[in-house]
Amino acid sequence: MENFLVLTVIADDKPGIVEQLSATIARNGGNWLESRMAHMAGKFAGILRVSIAAEQSNSLIAELSSLSSRGILVNAETGSDSEENDSLDLTLNLVGNDRPGIVKEVSQALSKMGVNVLELTTDCGTAEMSAVPLFRAEALLRVPHSFDTDILASALEAISNDLMVEIRLD
């Protein structure tokens, strides 16, 4: 039987972290399926999904935990490989003036409408023609087939008159 593990990783950013993770996974018979990793504020942060034979899961988890002696903290959770078939995936792009609480307001609107956030990437930078801080977000969302994207767009646009919203079906 195959298990799926979701690993979260954090460490001081330095060369070799991905190599140590991948070597540990391979040595224990695991298969690295997908990942998202980034450098933030001097830290390496990542999340990845691994498949592994059930009888080898515990040894992999133990060896990943031992990486803490090298400054790599790994948390492992058992996951599944199931996907919802009675739903649609949407891509949401937002751009607007940045301010404290904007992520809370957007996530609150999504939650109230029963939208599941599968992936979220945010960024804050300056507008091209001014020094105004600009908030950008891209999200992969999962909604029921009968979901009305126009209602979602209206709810998000109501957060602020400068928030530009684009929603497309994936």
Q: What's the rounded mean pLDDT across residues 4-27? A: 98
Instruction: Write the CA distances from 113 to 62, 89, 144, 151, 152, integer angstroms.
Output: 40, 15, 11, 9, 8
Judgement on whether residues 93 and 60 belong to the same structural domain of the protein: no
Is pTM beyond 0.75? Reply is: yes
Judgement on whether residues 109 and 154 belong to the same structural domain of the protein: yes
Judgement on whether residues 92 and 75 belong to the same structural domain of the protein: no
- Tens-place pLDDT, residues 49-80: 999 999 999 999 999 999 999 999 999 999 98
Q: Which of 79, 69, 72 is nearest to 21 (CA)?
A: 72
Q: How many domains does the chain have?
A: 2
Judgement on whether residues 58 and 110 belong to the same structural domain of the protein: no
Q: With 90 as the cut, is the pLDDT of residue 82 above it? A: no
Q: With 70 as the cut, is the pLDDT of residue 84 above it? A: no
What domain range includes position 97?
A: 87-169
Last residue of a domain, one of 52, 79, 106: 79
Last residue of a domain, one of 19, 52, 79: 79
Contact 45, 71 (CB under 8 A): no
Judgement on whether residues 92 and 163 belong to the same structural domain of the protein: yes
Can you give the CATH number for the domain in which 43 is found? 3.30.70.260
DSSP states along 98-153: --TTHHHHHHHHHHHTT-EEEEEEEEEEE-TTS--EEEEEEEEEEEETT--HHHHH
